A and B are shown apart, each in its own frame.
Chain A
Amino acid sequence: SQQGEEDPQALSIQEGENATMNCSYKTSINNLQWYRQNSGRGLVHLILIRSNEREKHSGRLRVTLDTSKKSSSLLITASRAADTASYFCATDAGTGFQKLVFGTGTRLLVSP
């Protein structure tokens, strides 16, 4: 399977704490994207990082990419209860068709 791996599978923290999720993938990529999914809902795009970028920020989100290790991390700072969701990384191998291969996901629970 080409599917990426994410760890941890589940993460439980208190409000205000930081949450870090890691993603590893198998093939060379054009870009890597992170998505959030609330239970039973569609996906919301969070951030995209290109293969020639190493770090990117968006509000409380910080994403890093290490193409030599084929890995990425998503850091959510000062977490809130509303951040409770599943988080998925997805890689675009740059085939021209924009196909995304999703990781296994991390379920984040932020308790008040």
Chain B
Amino acid sequence: GAVVSQHPSWVICKSGTSVKIECRSLDFQATTMFWYRQFPKQSLMLMATSNEGSKATYEQGVEKDKFLINHASLTLSTLTVTSAHPEDSSFYICSARDMASGQETQYFGPGTRLLVL
């Protein structure tokens, strides 16, 4: 099946620093990728939709200047958490759809756990 990877799998950083998370589709092309955030014992909340070659579409309440998304190629999207604060600590998960297959399934990455001290 289609594989989506994320890097890093976990990161610890100091408050005020920026953190970049990569999401890659390894064996398929994804014109659209999605970024989710998940707090402990809660569900996934969609943050933004990342479209290759264009600006991301952010969900209501998500600050686009704080969560920078770049989808520069059909296999890579990046999420940068700028000036991270402890409240940004969370589990960030990306997903991608295999456009060529025509299937509606989204494939999820393994997630990145961010801890901001």
Contact = CB atoms under 8 A, between A and B. Distances in A.
Instruction: Identify which of B44, B49, B97 gathers the most chain A CB atoms within 10 Å of its CB.
Output: B44
A1 to B, nearest CB: 9
A99 B34 contact: yes
B46 A101 contact: yes
B104 A98 contact: yes
B111 A92 contact: no
Interface residues of B, number: 26
A99 B4 CA distance: 17
Interface string B99-117: 0000011111111010000
Nearest to A3: B43
B52 to A, nearest CB: 13
B44 A102 contact: yes
A33 B105 contact: yes
A99 B49 contact: yes
Contact of B106 (A3, A88, A98): A98
Interface in A4-56: 30-31, 33, 35, 40-45, 48
Nearest to B57: A97
B105 to A, nearest CB: 5
B21 interface: no
Contacts of B111: 40-42
B108 A97 contact: no
Nearest to A98: B97
A97 B32 contact: yes
Contact of A48 (B36, B46, B104): B104
B93 interface: yes
Contacts of B113: 40
Contact of A42 (B97, B104, B105, B109): B109
B91 interface: yes
11 contacts: A33-B104, A40-B111, A41-B111, A45-B107, A97-B49, A98-B104, A99-B49, A100-B46, A100-B95, A102-B44, A102-B46
